[in-house]
Amino acid sequence: MSRRYSAEAVTAAGIALFQAAGARPEDAQSTVAALVTSSLMGHDSHGVMRIPEYLGLVARGLIRLRSEISVERTGPATAIVDCGHGFGATGAARAVQEGLQIAREQRTATVITRRCHHVGRLGAWVELAAAQGMIALMTCNSPVYGHFVLPWGGRDARLATNPIAYAVPTSGDPVVADFATSVAPEGKLRFYLNEGKPVPAGWILDSDGNPATDPRGFYGPPRGGILPLGGSAGHKGFALSLLVEILGSALAGLGPQDPDFLGNGNCLVLIDPSAFCPPDKFRRLMDETVAYMKSSRPVPGVAEVLVPGELEFRTLRIRRTEGVPIDEPTLLSLHEYGRGFGLDLRQWLN
Amino acid sequence: MSRRYSAEAVTAAGIALFQAAGARPEDAQSTVAALVTSSLMGHDSHGVMRIPEYLGLVARGLIRLRSEISVERTGPATAIVDCGHGFGATGAARAVQEGLQIAREQRTATVITRRCHHVGRLGAWVELAAAQGMIALMTCNSPVYGHFVLPWGGRDARLATNPIAYAVPTSGDPVVADFATSVAPEGKLRFYLNEGKPVPAGWILDSDGNPATDPRGFYGPPRGGILPLGGSAGHKGFALSLLVEILGSALAGLGPQDPDFLGNGNCLVLIDPSAFCPPDKFRRLMDETVAYMKSSRPVPGVAEVLVPGELEFRTLRIRRTEGVPIDEPTLLSLHEYGRGFGLDLRQWLN
């Protein structure tokens, strides 16, 4: 069961909660805006349901309320954004801002983060850069406690779900891809576990390294692992996941099991298309490319070919009108946090 | 049936052939070196068997023997390498060289090619950059006549097999990944067709958009298509393939069906790890990362976890001793080209 609320109401409630928890107005604003947009785009798993999780991290002192972001320009086209364990959304937005400034000068930029908390939907940050005309590519890894994913041929998990996102401007909505390099996220396995249902074949191995469909085969103990993207070509998904791990940890000076690593390790690469093709022509060629993909007649049972991001932008338009769904446990948790802060959220989320 | 010859003998024969066909010594050298190295690493499909194919392209005037490469530095950290329809290997090597020079100055570089012929094994070029301490990422698309791969949900092919390669230095062999973003290359389908055998499930759709295992379902006519990487998560492979298409064509100023586009559209991104982490520490962290992956106990039936490139470097060491296998049709074709040029190849390939 879930109920729908306007994005404005959810945003107001979320900002009130984070400010009551001691967040600076700008941190509360950027964090809630990112989460509500994820929900608007249909990515509920990276949306409003994360508000209570983040409030919990604040309560435990893991998200630092008064941290300062520091930026080190380490080369003409590179920078390190140290997010000081503040809010991930603020850190990610700053990384994009620094990247844009560098890419406008140099035409290409690589920016990595350090001490950055959960950045939410990775697509949000590449979209931000594409809105400024850039091609943006971003990777995001997680510390050892998120290592649920198997290297190809192995039975012990060594990688996180390690998503990759990219965005490219067109003359309309950008093309935006954002996907885990594992075949499925851990959250989906938990859903099957809670429902007492088998997971699809090809998702998990048990701790002996045998294919399993019982989610308990993954959770153990002892724990099994999630397979990398690719099915029978899972070595390709492993290669992608390993790249995300390298760009998130080794490049940032961290070992693969560093106990001090919290949150996400991000790497953002920006390419200014105008270094290669006049901007208007590039957008026209992108429109042609999108149209060419969509001109492929759909397979039986599919209405049309969708390019990456297209479904999300459609959902965004629908949910701006129809509201954002919030599930019952999240709603209860938000109200509970509200009461704890002496805030009555019923003015927004009744 | 195939016979084995030393890499030195094959290289000498190959260079003699290309020079007899009118290639400049340096073009003959770089082209043959790249192809023989591919064969040494076990990538026979991008190895010596391509020598007759390239000689055919020379004979048809499609590879231009006296073309000059021109480089336009379009921004502080970007360049366009116009290969003038010369040999692809020469063009790709030049793109890497330009990229390295830029990345040493700016710490990041993006280089694209124009009018570049088949570059062979993509991994070769990222390896070249990793040997100089760089993290290298490279994509490669192909013109409309190579569009065998389906967009997710579509029945009409709109993409080539669009490989992605990356290389990262360690203190030993680099990590090198190089893979098509389709579930299988077209060459493998032809193999099944010739053998009269069914292809594995999940590789192809027929022209009606239905799953097929009969390779004739792909070849038609009317032609079907190869599925993108990812199995049930094929939307992720589609997203990767589309990125490779965008970086190879739109970014280079070409439409997705441009009739003048020949060969490969390449995009090379270099990141100097020393902008983020001292080089020695980075190599040590990479060694730790590789060791951590390999510490995953193998699944039943697998001897050990291999990181990307590991198998290829092992094969390279074996084949340096045991020689490079050349299949009978390729051998016949090489000798035939030799006779056409008045060259007796038996001194090398007896």
CATH topology match: A2-63+325-347 vs A70-180+230-275: no
Cβ–Cβ < 8 Å for A127, A156: no
Coil vs helix vs strand at A170: coil
Number of cross-chain residue pairs from A and B with Cβ atoms under 8 Å apart = 309
pLDDT tens, residue by residue, A144-158: 999 999 999 999 999
Of B106, B243, B293, the CB nearest to A242: B293
Chain A residues with CB inside 8 Å of B154's CB?
293, 296-299, 302, 305
Q: Flag if A297 and B156 touch (Cβ within 8 Å).
A: yes
| Contacts of B251 by beta carbon, 8 Å cutoff, 6+ apart | A135, A271, A273, A276, A277, A282, B112, B267
Among residues A143, A113, A245, which one has the least CA distance to residue B285?
Answer: A245
Q: Flag if B250 and A106 touch (Cβ within 8 Å).
A: no
Strands B108-114 and B78-82, how do they pair? parallel
Chain B residues with CB inside 8 Å of A259's CB?
none
Which ipTM score applies to this complex?
A: 0.97
pLDDT of A191: 85
- Computed over every residue of chain A, the mean pLDDT equals 96
pLDDT of A186: 87
Average pLDDT over every residue of B225-246: 96
Of B202, B205, B251, the CB nearest to A277: B251
Cβ–Cβ < 8 Å for B266, B276: no
Question: Which two structure tokens, joined as six digits, stand for B138?
Answer: 């490279």
User: How many helices and strands (H and E) does chain A possess?
Assistant: 11, 12
pLDDT of A74: 97
Q: Flag if A246 and B106 touch (Cβ within 8 Å).
A: no
Q: Which residue has the higher pLDDT, B194 or B152?
A: B152
**A193 contact B CB<8A:** no
Of B75, B229, B289, the CB nearest to A256: B289
Q: How many CB atoms lie within 10 A of CB A164?
A: 25
**B176 contact A CB<8A:** no
Query: Which residue of chain B comes nearest to A278, CA vs CA?
Result: B253
Average pLDDT over every residue of A291-309: 98
Of A80, A235, A245, the CB nearest to B276: A80
Distances (CA, A) of A16 to A24, A49, A118, A176: 11, 16, 20, 30
Of A76, A153, A272, the CB nearest to B298: A153
- Looking at domain B70-179+230-275, does it have CATH number 3.40.80.10? no
CA A163, CA A185: separation in Å to the nearest integer? 10
Cβ–Cβ < 8 Å for B166, A243: yes
Positive/negative CA dihedral, A156, B184, B38, B261: negative
Residue B5 identity: Y
CA A47, CA A34: separation in Å to the nearest integer? 8
Residue A196 identity: G
Coil vs helix vs strand at B266: strand
Average pLDDT over every residue of B195-220: 95
Residue B310 identity: E
What's B184-226's CATH class?
Answer: alpha beta
Give which of B251, B270, B282 to mutate to test A binding, by max A Cβ within 10 Å.
B251
Inter-helix orientation angle B7-20/B25-40, to 10°: 150
Cβ–Cβ < 8 Å for B47, B35: yes
Chain A residues with CB inside 8 Å of B254's CB?
285
Query: Which residue of chain A comes nearest to B111, CA vs CA?
Result: A276
Model confidence pTM above 0.95: yes
Positive/negative CA dihedral, B346, B347, B348, B350: positive
At A91, is the pLDDT very low, low, confident or very high (cuts 50, 70, 90)? very high
Query: Which residue of chain B comes nearest to A268, CA vs CA?
Result: B271
Distance from CA of A123 to the nearest CA of B (A): 13
Coil vs helix vs strand at B175: strand
Q: Flag if A231 and B109 touch (Cβ within 8 Å).
A: no
| Torsion angle (degrees, nearest 10) of CA B144, B145, B148, B152 | 10
Question: Which two structure tokens, joined as six digits, stand for B306?
Answer: 């291999």
Chain B residues with CB inside 8 Å of A283's CB?
none
Give which of B182, B271, B283 to mutate to test A binding, by max A Cβ within 10 Å.
B271
pLDDT of B191: 85
CA B239, CA B153: separation in Å to the nearest integer? 12
Q: Flag if B177 and A304 touch (Cβ within 8 Å).
A: no
Domain boundaries, chain A: 2-63+325-347, 70-180+230-275, 184-226
Q: In CATH, what number does B2-63+324-347 get?
A: 1.10.1530.10
pLDDT at B1 over 80: no
At A78, is the pLDDT very low, low, confident or very high (cuts 50, 70, 90)? very high
Q: How many CB atoms lie within 10 A of CB A278?
A: 11
pLDDT at B348 over 80: yes
Of B78, B137, B275, the CB nearest to A78: B275
pLDDT tens, residue by residue, B246-264: 999 999 999 999 999 999 9
- Computed over every residue of chain B, the mean pLDDT equals 96
pLDDT of B264: 95
Question: Which two structure tokens, joined as six digits, stand for A317?
Answer: 């338009």
**A260 contact B CB<8A:** no
Q: Flag if B154 and A293 touch (Cβ within 8 Å).
A: yes
pLDDT at A277 over 80: yes
Among residues B165, B132, B136, which one has the least CA distance to residue B279?
Answer: B132
Residues of A (303-332) whose Cβ lies below 8 Å from B: 304-308
Cβ–Cβ < 8 Å for A244, A164: yes
Question: Which two structure tokens, joined as six digits, stand for A250?
Answer: 């080794």
**A71 contact B CB<8A:** no
At A229, is the pLDDT very low, low, confident or very high (cuts 50, 70, 90)? very high
Q: How many CB atoms lie within 10 A of CB A222?
A: 10
Q: Flag if A202 and B232 touch (Cβ within 8 Å).
A: yes
pLDDT tens, residue by residue, A329-341: 999 999 999 999 9
Q: In CATH, what number does A70-180+230-275 get?
A: 3.30.1370.60
Q: CATH number of the domain at A2-63+325-347, out of 3.40.190.10, 3.30.499.10, 1.20.1250.20, 1.10.1530.10?
A: 1.10.1530.10
pLDDT tens, residue by residue, A113-137: 999 999 999 999 999 999 999 999 9
Of A108, A238, A256, the CB nearest to B110: A108
CA B79, CA A106: separation in Å to the nearest integer? 11
At B20, is the pLDDT very low, low, confident or very high (cuts 50, 70, 90)? very high
Lowest mean pLDDT among A57-61, B95-99, B193-197: B193-197
CA A226, CA A189: separation in Å to the nearest integer? 9
Distance from CA of A112 to the nearest CA of B (A): 8
pLDDT of A187: 82
Q: Flag if B239 and A308 touch (Cβ within 8 Å).
A: yes
Distance from CA of B190 to the nearest CA of A (A): 19
pLDDT of B181: 98
Q: Which residue has the tokens 């492979």?
A: B237
Coil vs helix vs strand at A67: coil
At A2, is the pLDDT very low, low, confident or very high (cuts 50, 70, 90)? confident
pLDDT at B232 over 90: no
Of A155, A239, A297, the CB nearest to B179: A239
Q: Flag if B232 and A200 touch (Cβ within 8 Å).
A: yes
Give which of A281, A299, A306 to mutate to test B binding, by max B Cβ within 10 Å.
A299
